[in-house]
Amino acid sequence: MSQPHVVDSVAALRARIRDWRRDGQRIAMVPTMGALHDGHLSLVKIALERADRCVVSIFVNPTQFAPTEDLDKYPRQLARDLDMLAAVKADLAFTPGVSEMYRAGFATKISVGGPSAGLETDFRPTFFDGVATVVAKLLLQAAPDFAIFGEKDYQQLCVVRQLCRDLDLPVEIIGAPTIRDAHGLAMSSRNAYLDEADLQIARQFNVILRKAAAALAAGAGQEETIAEASRVLVATGFQKVDYVEARESLTLTPWRRDRAGRVLAAAWLGKTRLIDNVEVPAA
């Protein structure tokens, strides 16, 4: 089982992709921050169903972390990541350093409106500027035909789609279903921070959101349903709820019953912040 080829410069990345293009091959990209898990691997599998070659970027992007957030302790395990990518036959790992992605004098920022409003932005106001900037750079560096993003980070997926649409980036953005453990907990690199007691609580997150979504689909009032979901999260053991909201699936504007919807939430277990979302079933 051979590991993917590894490059850490934009020039080397483009050279390898240029060779593939010369052979008429289609390219898919999976942007990640490493600390890979089965959710990431599912994205690689989807990428290889769509394309001949898959590039996985591994870069912990400092511009999407606020000074109070967990940049320094974010898990970094490149050797293990490469072994995992070998198991799913990823072709290339792009592992740039900060100085390669943000060279001396870097002074550009991309800010996306629309679906970035509210939710995460209310608590992490610079987050999506960092995401949009680094994703735009990665897509311009690799110029893939497809890029695969998980629905677990649903607002991020919507922001990336808006970014590519608005800037006419010639890449198809594919949203992939959230991968969950046997108890329904969405796979996340930050789950590694949770001890066994926290995990028992975290596994109720999706259960509570699904009950709220089912209630909304059955005609329950939106305000009281969302308030009840927040109350139950705290009663279950979450120390703090940042938000529980129902939004329209495509635009993330406030949900109306005649539109496809999502219930999105963020809540804290100790120092670990978890996010999740579920679809509101069609009436």
Q: By C-alpha distance, which of 223, 115, 220, 96 is closest to 166? A: 115
Which parts are annotated binding residues for beta-alanine?
Answer: 64
Q: What is the CATH number of the domain that holds 10?
A: 3.40.50.620
Q: What is the pLDDT of residues 258-268, one digit of tens each?
A: 899 999 999 99
How far is residue 59's CA from residue 76's CA, in Å, rounded to a whole number? 9
Take residue 212 and report the two structure tokens written for it: 């709220």
Query: Residue 97's domain spans which residues?
Result: 5-176
How far is residue 82's CA from residue 34's CA, in Å, rounded to a whole number? 9
In this structure, are 148 and 211 located in the same domain? no
The yes-or-no verdict on residue 1 having pLDDT over 80 is no
Per-residue pLDDT band at 68 (split at 50, 70, 90):
confident
Which parts are annotated binding residues for ATP?
Answer: 33-40, 150-153, 179, 187-190
Please tell me the number of Cα atoms within 13 Å of 169 on its side-chain side.
25
Region 70-79 average pLDDT: 91
Residue 283 falls within a domain, yes or no? no
Q: What is the CATH number of the domain that holds 252?
A: 3.30.1300.10
Contact 59, 81 (CB under 8 A): no
In this structure, are 132 and 41 located in the same domain? yes
Per-residue pLDDT band at 283 (split at 50, 70, 90):
low
Give residue 282's pLDDT: 73
pTM above 0.95, yes or no: yes
In this structure, are 172 and 222 located in the same domain? no
- Strand ranges in 145-200 using DSSP code E only, listed in sequence order: 146-150, 172-176
Residue 182 falls within a domain, yes or no? no
Q: How many domains does the chain divide into?
A: 2
| Terminal-to-terminal C-alpha distance of the chain | 48
In the set 16, 40, 161, 262, the catalytic residue is 40
Residue 181 falls within a domain, yes or no? no
Which parts are annotated binding residues?
Answer: 33-40, 64, 150-153, 156, 179, 187-190
Examine the fold and report which residue of 176, 210, 241 is the final residue of a domain before the chain moves on.
176
Which parts are annotated binding residues for (R)-pantoate?
Answer: 64, 156
In this structure, are 51 and 115 located in the same domain? yes
Tell me if residue 5 is catalytic.
Answer: no
The yes-or-no verdict on residue 49 having pLDDT over 80 is yes
